[in-house]
Amino acid sequence: MKWKEQILSLKAYQPGRTTDQVKKAYGLTDVVKLASNENPFGSSEKVKECIREYADSFAIYPDGYTTGLRTELASFLNVSEKQLIFGNGSDEIIMMLSRAMLEPGKNTVMPTPSFPQYRHNAVVEGAEVREVELVNGAHNLDKMADSIDENTAIVWLCSPNNPTGIHITDVQLRGFLDRVPEEVLVVLDEAYFEYVTADDYYNALEIIKEYKNVLVLRTFSKVYGLAAFRVGYGFADESLITQLEPVREPFNVNSLGQKAAAAGLSDQAFIDQCRTANKEGLEQFYAFCRENGLDYYPSEANFILIDFKCDSNELFEYLMSKGYIVRSGAALGIPGTVRVTVGSKEQNEGVMSAMKSFLAETVKR
């Protein structure tokens, strides 16, 4: 077979264990998944109502222009409909951008550790990957700007960054963008945007007006609680979107997803509640870390990376045996830590109590 050379060394995405698998393996009746930054409160009631009503026309292809959702979202964001692109999750837009711009001879600059799909798609396209280490969980924007040359096609920024939760400030972002040549695309991945409360955060809608080479990614998978439907979107100056559109598959956003996302968007009260509950949850974790002398990264997202300075796979296995699935920092490139999705108050108390017994048991040994 004539595979691209670089595919041969790539590994397929390793899904974590499902709650059912963990229940079986450890004989547990209750398992809480705090591993994928899903919304512990589910989704808006409006979504459930709208999906119940939509139990026919399954023989019909989706609306290939995502018209209804497009109109709603354009008015919500106050952008033109032509400034939007939709994907089967923002994952798919990362793939479209990589496909449209990356190839052997080009390079792409990204932070590390960060969202793995930037690197993965660049490797598939045969582009050179330039990874710039985080400093204290934050982007090293100076070094990222220094890494750009005439062959750089895309720079990826993730704010707040997954897996550290650290955001980029308005001053930092503008300082960086002023250094990026206008023919280099900057992708600003804001998968956790709706959770942000920091005062020094930038306004992405202003940014795309001032910098025509910036494309912002957001998703309905996280705070909207609609990960099952796979709907993400990008917004940018119209000229960028127009050039990217031909790379998109004709029916990439499924019909139910289009309906569900529009219903979710219409219930901003739900989003506000989730943001508030998340903030309270983060405070629970901060207090826990202080009490137990643990370092952590202050987070603007719905997860927290805690430094246990231990074998993070061991802690990961231990928590799983107690019914809590988290992400091991070893798997994320920050050994000694675990990343925990902020759950409901009770879920947070539960996982913290399991963490406490782990600490007590490891001290005894």
Ligand X SMILES: *Cc1c(COP(=O)(O)O)cnc(C)c1O
- Contact between 243 and 272 (Cβ < 8 Å): no
Residues from 209 through 228 that contact ligand X (CB under 6 A): 219, 221, 227
Amino acid of residue 92: E
Instruction: Please report where in the chains the tokens 């899903």 appear, as a residue.
Output: 38
Q: Which stretch binds ligand X (CB under 6 A): 68-76, 83-91, 204-212, 327-335?
A: 83-91
Kindly state the smallest distance separating residue 92's Cβ from ligand X, in Å: 7
Residue number, nearest CB to ligand X: 89
293 CB burial (10 A radius; 0-12, 13-18, 19+) = exposed
263 contacts: CB under 8 Å, gap ≥ 6? 44, 46, 47, 49, 50, 51
126 contacts: CB under 8 Å, gap ≥ 6? 4, 5, 6, 102, 103, 104
First vs last Cα of the chain: how many Å apart? 53
Binds ligand X by CB under 6 A, chosen from 39, 90, 152, 328: 90
66 CB burial (10 A radius; 0-12, 13-18, 19+) = buried
Share of the chain residues as helix, strand and coil, in percent rounded to the nearest 5:
45, 15, 40
Kindly state the smallest distance separating residue 261's Cβ from ligand X, in Å: 11
Residue 247 or 310: the one with the smaller Cβ distance to ligand X is: 247
How many residues of this chain bind ligand X (CB under 6 A)? 12
Query: What tokens were used for 76?
Result: 């919500």
Residue 117 or 172: the one with the smaller Cβ distance to ligand X is: 117
Residues from 162 through 201 that contact ligand X (CB under 6 A): 162, 189, 191
Residue 28 or 227: the one with the smaller Cβ distance to ligand X is: 227
35-74 footprint of ligand X as x/- string (CB under 6 A): ----------------------------------------
Closest C-alpha among 188, 186, 208, 192 to residue 78? 208
Binds ligand X by CB under 6 A, chosen from 50, 73, 97, 158: 158
Binds ligand X by CB under 6 A, chosen from 137, 232, 264, 323: 232
Residue 96 or 354: the one with the smaller Cβ distance to ligand X is: 96
In sequence order, what DSSP letters do the residues of 211-271 get, joined into one string? -TTEEEEEESSSTT--GGG--EEEEE-HHHHHHHGGGS-TT-S-HHHHHHHHHHHT-HHHH
| Separation in Å, CA 173 to CA 93, 137, 226 | 22, 16, 29
Binds ligand X by CB under 6 A, chosen from 89, 137, 234, 323: 89
Kindly state the smallest distance separating residue 202's Cβ from ligand X, in Å: 17
Kindly state the smallest distance separating residue 216's Cβ from ligand X, in Å: 12
Kindly state the smallest distance separating residue 3's Cβ from ligand X, in Å: 25
d(CA 63, CA 82): 16
Residue 115 or 318: the one with the smaller Cβ distance to ligand X is: 115
Kindly state the smallest distance separating residue 90's Cβ from ligand X, in Å: 4
Residue 36 or 321: the one with the smaller Cβ distance to ligand X is: 36
Residue 23 or 99: the one with the smaller Cβ distance to ligand X is: 99
Binds ligand X by CB under 6 A, chosen from 38, 91, 131, 300: 91
Alpha helices in 102-221 (DSSP H): 117-124, 141-146, 170-177, 204-210
37 contacts: CB under 8 Å, gap ≥ 6? 162, 192, 222, 301, 302, 303, 341
Q: Which stretch binds ligand X (CB under 6 A): 57-65, 87-95, 280-288, 318-326?
A: 87-95
Q: With binding defined as CB under 6 A, does residue 337 bind ligand X?
A: no
Enumerate binding residues for ligand X (CB under 6 A): 89-91, 115, 158, 162, 189, 191, 219, 221, 227, 232
